[in-house]
Structure 1
Amino acid sequence: MKNILLLFVLLTGVQFAAAQTDNGWEDWQKTSCYSKISFRLKDAGTRGEQHIWKIQFKSDYPELISFNYNLTDELQQYNITTHRKTLNANELSKEIEIFTKEDNIYILVDKVSLSPYPQDFIDCN
């Protein structure tokens, strides 16, 4: 009986520790075109009728990059935002807060450049 109780306590502790580290973030996802750029989302609830999302980007490039990211609703009828982001080598971005009407959003990353300027774009890999 003690072994079963000890096993339960250990398993509960492992699950609790995993929930703390995740902190509500979804798993990292590679962008559809650039395997060295990843992103993750966090549903931060609602404010009135708007959904609040937090987004982070991660670069696995060994040098500075810049890219456009575009957020759309699930039907791709509305562009929510398009911005340009610059990340240093192997950098994790700060949290970006986005407000949407829909509860499903899609992220498109394009126009990746190995400079801080939107020029000399690299091809999709």
Structure 2
Amino acid sequence: MGFSNTTAAAILNDIFRDETIYLALYKSNPTGADTGTEVTGGAYARQLITFATPAIDVGKQTIKNSAEIQFPIATADWGVITHVAIRSALTGGTMIGFGALVTAKTILTGDRFVIALSNGAIKLS
């Protein structure tokens, strides 16, 4: 079942825009059961993520990050980042959603993981 544009926008706003949420980096698939391996150590910290107003993109209601997301500079190797998740808290909390990166990214000491403006998107139809 699909959603109307109005309902899809309301869901995206309610879950992803009306609450404070954080982006987490993973070295494995977090799965719907929240069982993946999140990055730890080396100055890693989840980052606040904010989304722009929903808009139709390729026929689906879509929200995109409204600011560049910069993680701290790694002070130790973080490994290969394969997935991201949106979480309800800076530490702990609930995983709200997750997805694979288009291209995995190796983060070594001195590197910074960055998601450019509008490169993080969530689509709902």
Report the TM-score range of the alignment, normalised by the length of the smaller protein: under 0.3
Structure having greater relative contact order (Cα 8 Å, sep ≥ 6): 2
Structure 1 or 2, whichever has the larger Rg, is 1
Higher helix share: 1
Q: TM-score, normalised by structure 2?
A: 0.27
Higher strand share: 1
Q: TM-score, normalised by structure 1?
A: 0.27
